[in-house]
Amino acid sequence: MTPFLPDLPHSLSAAMRRGLLGKCPRCGGVHLFARFLKPVDRCPLCGQDWTLHAADDFPPYVAILITGHILAPVMIVLGSATAIPMWVTVAIALILAVVLLLSLLQPAKGAIIALQWWMGMQGFAERPGKQEAGIA
Ligand SMILES: [Zn+2]
């Protein structure tokens, strides 16, 4: 039986793209998340330990930053349209903010976990991804 050889990413952007899509940044084959924002403890395919990450508050920061940059022009356009009542503008902004934040949180966390793995940050310091891939 041939041992499983993970399809290692060849660049940081490839690893982060896998994380964005919710796939294992190391092998790209399975889901990175067991629940909405809870990564699997260990990839069932390649065995990478994902409990070593420490994404902390960075994914919400990224999600809020992107949401704000999308919402700002929308609020300016809606605010300058005098025909739209203020309560409708506020309702649209609130709904849009919640939808954007919820949809950006998991991809942001996946990308940041991939970034930490690739750069050998936090608990990944002993086994950096780029050294494993032969790029360092
Ligand atoms: Zn994997």
If DSSP states are collapsed to H, E and C, what string results for 52-63? HCCCCCHHHHHH
- Tokens at residue 84, please? 């739209």
Find the mean pLDDT for residues 76-85.
Answer: 87
Q: pLDDT at position 122, please?
A: 80
User: What spacing in Å lies between the alpha carbon of 29 and ligand 1's midpoint?
Assistant: 6
Nearest to 33 by CA among 110, 135, 131: 110
How far is ligand 1, taken at its centre, from the CA of residue 67, in Å?
Answer: 30
What is the model's pLDDT at position 134? Answer: 61
pLDDT of res. 1: 61
The percent of residues in the chain predicted with pLDDT above 70, rounded, is 90
Ligand 1 center to 31 CA (angstroms)? 8
- The mean pLDDT of 73-84, rounded to a whole number, is 88
Distance from Cα 30 to the centre of ligand 1, integer Å:
6
| Ligand 1 mean position, distance from CA 79 (Å) | 47
Domain ranges (residues) in the chain: 12-132
The reported pLDDT for the residue numbered 67 is 97
